Amino acid sequence: MTEVAYDVDDDTVAVVEDTDLPRRLKDQVYATLEERGDATVDDADELAKAVEARYLDTRVDPLDPVGTVSAQSIGEPGTQLTMNTFHYAGVAEIDVTQGLPRLIELVDARKTPDTPMMTIYLEDEYATEREKAHEVVWKIEATKILALGDVSTNVADMRVQISLNEDTLQERMITPEEVAEIIQDNLGVKAIQQGTQIEFGPEEPSYRDLLQLVEELREITFKGIEDISRVVIRREELDDGSEEFILYTEGSAFGDALEIEGVDASRSTCNNIHEIHRNLGIEAAREAIIEETNNTLAEQGLDDVNVRHLMLVADMMTNRGEIESIGRHGISGSKDSVLARAAFEVTVNHLLNAAIHGEVDELDGVTENVIVGKPIKLGTGDVDLRMGSTTSGSGRAD
């Protein structure tokens, strides 16, 4: 007998437990019965049956080919998606790939998205005070020399001269000494720093080297994360009505960003599913795939696509504990059946390889059975029911 935490008698428990309801619904039934108090065992039975009927009615049927249905449900609206690569998502300042190209990118599980970006939420006072939030911004956004001051080349003396802007230095919390040191480390030249002036040049006078140095200087990241070219800070209203600062970045380096003080790792995300996989694990990656595909569809007004379909795609992509793409290099290419692989793409190579490895096609899947002309093992084809003939011979219709 199952122990129940509700005040109901054993017979009631027996009838309720007898149903195919999941725990959560059984508990709800108990709660309802307890509340009413006066319900008889028959009442309980009826209630449980009614709830069960309602529950079973909305469940997927066994042997439903849910995979195909999900694939169709995502693929069919594909024709309605836009091709325009660039558009604005929420934040007008940042361009993000959208529509069909983005959907293809997600399903392909590309190593880096076309337009990587992060959405960074902040913790505590960082989220509420503009000053504090900016502190985080400077730690994330890559600061290049042109943001710190003016660079000029003195061709006569073969020197590069930098005059730093004191205000920006202060704002970005970096000292001229640090700047000089970073230059020395990166370019391997001796940099002379005096106040906000920094000067250096090639060891031997050479016009080419001088220009080369300036080029290299522009590439140096003085502060922040190299991959992040721009950060947009926005004050947004949350669901609970409170306001806080949220950072949107162009470029992504999720692992590095999470380390930074003030970043709320529990809410921040990025649109590169591989980075999420690396930093937060496969379950997070699955969530990210669902979230990203859903957003892509929603942005085009197709938010009526049932999330369950997206979940199935995400689950399929993450089933082996790593992100697999949908297509020749991923799921379709690693199928067990030779015929299924050959029927998808690169037909001849798959056949030749199968011969070498002495593969055996057990004909379990869909495509193989279509090829050899057998019924497929899905839906009604998966049921092996035959009507037995009654020997008495009477009462048999037709």
Q: Scanning residues 3 to 62, which ones bind other proteins (CB under 8 A)? A: 25, 28-29, 31-33, 36, 39, 43, 46-47, 49-62
Residue among 71, 158, 265, 282 that touches other proteins (CB under 8 A): 71
Residues 73-102 that bind other proteins (CB under 8 A): 73-79, 81-84, 86-87, 92-94, 100
> Minimum distance from CB of 183 to other proteins (Å)?
28
CA dist., res. 125 & res. 244, Å (int): 9
- Residue 284 interacting with other proteins (CB under 8 A): no
CB 210, min distance to other proteins, A: 29
| Member of 11, 17, 68, 283 binding other proteins (CB under 8 A) | 68
Q: How far is the CB of 204 from other proteins (least distance, A)?
A: 23
CB nearer to other proteins: pick between 253 and 339: 339
| Chain mean position to CA 24 | 29
Q: Which residues pair with 110 in a beta bridge?
A: none
Number of residues that bind other proteins (CB under 8 A): 113
Name residues contacting other proteins, limited to 303-322 (CB under 8 A). 304-309, 311-313, 315-316, 319
Taking CB under 8 A as the rule, does residue 351 contact other proteins? yes
Separation of alpha carbons 69 and 313, rounded Å: 11
Cβ atoms of residues 65 and 378 within 8 Å: yes
Q: Quick one: 5 or 60, whose CB is closer to other proteins?
A: 60
Structure tokens at 8: 């109901």
Q: Are 78 and 72 in contact (CB under 8 A)?
A: no
Site string for other proteins, 221-250 (x = CB under 8 A): ---------x-x------------------
Residue 203's Cα: distance from chain center in Å? 49
What would the two tokens of residue 186 be? 């990166």
Q: Rounded to the nearest whole angstrom, what is the least distance from the CB of residue 94 to other proteins in the complex?
A: 7
Please, what sign has the CA dihedral across residues 290, 312, 253, 94?
A: negative
**Residue 76 three-state SS:** helix
Q: Is 118 in the site for other proteins (CB under 8 A)?
A: no
Provide the minimum distance between the beta carbon of 349 and other proteins in the complex, in angstroms, as a whole number: 8
Instruction: Kindly state whether residue 382 participates in binding other proteins, applying the rule CB under 8 A.
Output: yes
Closest CA to 365 of 354, 380, 353, 376: 376
Give the DSSP per-residue string, 77-120: GGGGS----EEEESEEEEEEE-HHHHHHHHHHT-SS-SS-EEEE
User: Which residues, other chains included, contact 394 with Cβ-Cβ below 8 Å and sequence gap of 6+?
Assistant: none
In the complex with other proteins, the residue whose CB is nearer, 87 or 159, is: 87
Residue of 11, 18, 64, 236 that binds other proteins (CB under 8 A): 64
Stretch that binds other proteins, among 8-16, 152-160, 174-182, 364-372 (CB under 8 A): 364-372
- Listed residue (258, 310, 281, 274) closest to 103, CA to CA: 310
Three-state DSSP class for 125?
helix
Nearer to other proteins, 96 or 313 (CB): 313
Q: Least distance to other proteins from the beta carbon of 64, Å?
A: 5
Rounded to whole angstroms, the Cα distance separating 132 from 135 reads 5
Closest CA to 326 of 343, 340, 311, 314: 314
Using CB under 8 A as the binding rule, whether residue 344 contacts other proteins is answered as yes
Point out which residues pair with 197 in neighbouring strands.
163, 194
- Closer residue to other proteins (CB): 75 or 188: 75
Q: Least separation, in Å, of the C-beta of 111 and other proteins?
A: 18
Per CB under 8 A, contacts with other proteins among 180-209 are none
The answer to the question of residue 327 lying near other proteins (CB under 8 A) is yes
Within positions 125 to 154, which residues make up the interface with other proteins, using CB under 8 A?
none
- Whether 277 contacts 297, CB under 8 Å: no
**Residue among 114, 120, 111, 134 nearest 91 (CA):** 120
CB of 80 to other proteins, least distance (A): 9
Q: Which member of 18, 63, 125, 203 binds other proteins (CB under 8 A)?
A: 63
Q: Which is nearer to other proteins, 73 or 165 (CB)?
A: 73
